[in-house]
Amino acid sequence: MNVLVLNCGSSSLKFAVIDPGASVEHVSGIGQRLGTPEATLDIKRNGSKSSRAMPGAAHGEALRAVVEELRSLGLADALVGVGHRVVHGGSKFSGSMPITPEVIAKIEECVPLGPLHNPPNLVGIKIAKELFPELLQVAVFDTAFHQTMPAVAYTYPVPYEWQDSYGVRRYGFHGTSHRFVAKQALAQTGLPTGDHAIVTAHLGNGCSCTAVRNGKSVDTTMGLTPLEGLMMGTRSGSVDPAIVGHVAAARKGPAEKVLDDLNKKSGLLGVSGLSNDMRAVEEAAAGGHERARLALDLFCYTLAKSIAGLVVPLGRLDALVFTGGIGENSTTVRARTVGLLGFLGLELDAAANAVHGKGQRGRITTGERPQALVVATNEELMIAMDTAEIARGNGR
Ligand code: ADP
C-alpha cells in the first residue's frame, strides 16, 4: 500500500512515495526555486541522488515530472492515495481529512491565518487532483493535533471578542511531528498509552514544544502563528509585543518590517550575527565567539524554561523527547537543556547522549522516570499513515 506524500511551499515541492505499513520510503525528492530560471528537481532513490534543471518550471510542471518518474519506476499505479501537508487548519480541523470540495473551501477560509503556507498547499492539492482524479486525496494539518488544547491553554488574555472576530487564539504547529514522536516515545519507553505525561521538543529551523497527556496535546509553545514560543533559527519566539511599535517608531518605518525582522533576522541569526544554523553557532561558540555563546546559552535557557512551563498542564513529567535536526543531532543542546532541568529529576547520561548524537536513538538520562530520549521525527511517514488509514476506511 503506497502513498504519495506532498508538501508544497511557495517555491518548493517536496514529495515521497512511502509504504506506511512497512515504513519504507521508495523514492523522495524536492523541487526548488520553482517559478524561477534556477528551478531544479532533485530525486533520491536507493541512496543515490539525481538532479535536473527545470528552468521556469512551476509546481504543475514539477509535479508532472515527478509523476513521469513514478511511472517509470512502476510506482504510479500502485498508489492508494495522496497525502498533503496543510499548515493551517484553524479551529476547523481536529484530524486528517479526505479532501472534498467542502474541505477545500474550509482550507481557503484559513488562508488569512496561514497566508504564506495555505495558498501553495492548495496549489498542490489542485494539481494532484488533476493528475490523479480517481485517487483519494487527504489533508494532514500541522494544527490539528493541538485542537485538544483546553481554553485555558489556547486563549490569549486580549479582548475576548478578538477570538470570534479575528480568529485570535493559539493554534500551535508541528502537530504531525509532535504526534509522531510522542507515539514513538511510548513504544520506546513502554509508558502506558492511557497514562503518560510527555513533553516533545521539535527543534529544527522552526522550534516548538508540546505537552502531551495520554496521547493528546494539552499545550504547546507556538500560537496564532509559528512566531510564538521558543527562540528559533531566524525567529525570535516570544518577545514583548511592544517591541514592534517601539522599533517601528524609532526607525520611522512600518510595523510590518519589524515583524519581518522578528521572523527572518532574529533567533540564532539575530543574536549571534553569524548564522541561523545551529552547527555554525556551536562551532563559533566553541571557538570563543561571544555572541555565538550568548545565542547558544539563550537558546537552551528559553528551551528549558518552556519545557518546565509545560510541566504545569501535565502535573508531572514522565519523558522529555528531543527531535528535529537540532534535537536529533546536537549533543550540546541536549546536554545543556537537560542540565538546566535537573530539578525535575532529569540526570544526563553523558555517554548515551554522545552516542545518540550519532544516529542511534534512545534514552540519554540515567533514571527510569522522568527520562529524556531522542526520537527521529518522520512527518512524511505520519502523513502516509494517516492517508492509508483513511484509504482503508474508504474500502480502497
Ligand atoms: P527543518 O525545520 O527545516 O526541517 P531540520 O529539522 O533539518 O530543519 O533542522 C535544521 C537544524 O538542525 C539546523 O539548525 C541545523 O544546524 C541543525 N543541525 C543539523 N545537524 C546538526 C548537528 N550535527 N549539530 C547541531 N545542529 C545540527
* Ligand 1 near 327 CB (within 6 A): no
* Ligand 1 near 98 CB (within 6 A): no
In this prediction, residue 76 carries a pLDDT of 87
Contact 219, 170 (CB under 8 A): no
Residues 274 and 367 both lie in one domain: yes
* Ligand 1 near 206 CB (within 6 A): yes
Residue ranges in the chain assigned as alpha helix (H): 59-72, 101-109, 118-131, 151-154, 161-166, 175-189, 242-251, 255-264, 267-272, 278-286, 290-314, 324-329, 331-340, 350-356, 379-393
Number of domains in the chain: 2
To test the pocket of ligand 1, the residue of 205, 207, 276, 299 to mutate (highest count of ligand atoms within 8 Å of its CB) is: 205
CA of 208 to the centre of ligand 1 (A): 14
Triad 175, 176, 179: Cα angle to 5°: 80
In this prediction, residue 77 carries a pLDDT of 85
Amino acid in the structure at residue 172 = G
In this prediction, residue 395 carries a pLDDT of 62
* Ligand 1 near 205 CB (within 6 A): yes
Closest atom of ligand 1 relative to the 233 alpha carbon: 14
Residues 201 and 326 both lie in one domain: yes
Residues 57 and 204 both lie in one domain: no
In this prediction, residue 368 carries a pLDDT of 85
Residue where a domain stops, chosen among 124, 141, 158? 141
pLDDT in tens, 220-243: 999 999 999 999 999 999 999 999
Where in the sequence is the domain holding 299, given as residue range(s)? Answer: 192-379
Q: How far apart are the first and last CA of the chain?
A: 10
**303 phi-psi bin (left φ>0, alpha ψ -120 to 50, beta other):** alpha
Contact 367, 342 (CB under 8 A): no
Report if residue 181 sits inside a domain. no
Quick one: three-class SS letters along 298-323?
A: HHHHHHHHHHHHHHHHHCCCCEEEEE
Residues 121 and 7 both lie in one domain: yes
Residues 356 and 276 both lie in one domain: yes
pLDDT in tens, 330-340: 999 999 999 99
Report if residue 394 sits inside a domain. no
CATH number at 108 reads 3.30.420.40
CA of 324 to the centre of ligand 1 (A): 7
CA of 255 to the centre of ligand 1 (A): 30
Residue where a domain stops, chosen among 141, 158, 177? 141
Closest atom of ligand 1 relative to the 357 alpha carbon: 23
In this prediction, residue 289 carries a pLDDT of 98
Residues 23 and 114 both lie in one domain: yes
Residues 365 and 232 both lie in one domain: yes
The parts of the chain modelled with pLDDT lower than 50 are none
Sign of the CA dihedral running 210, 214, 218, 223:
positive
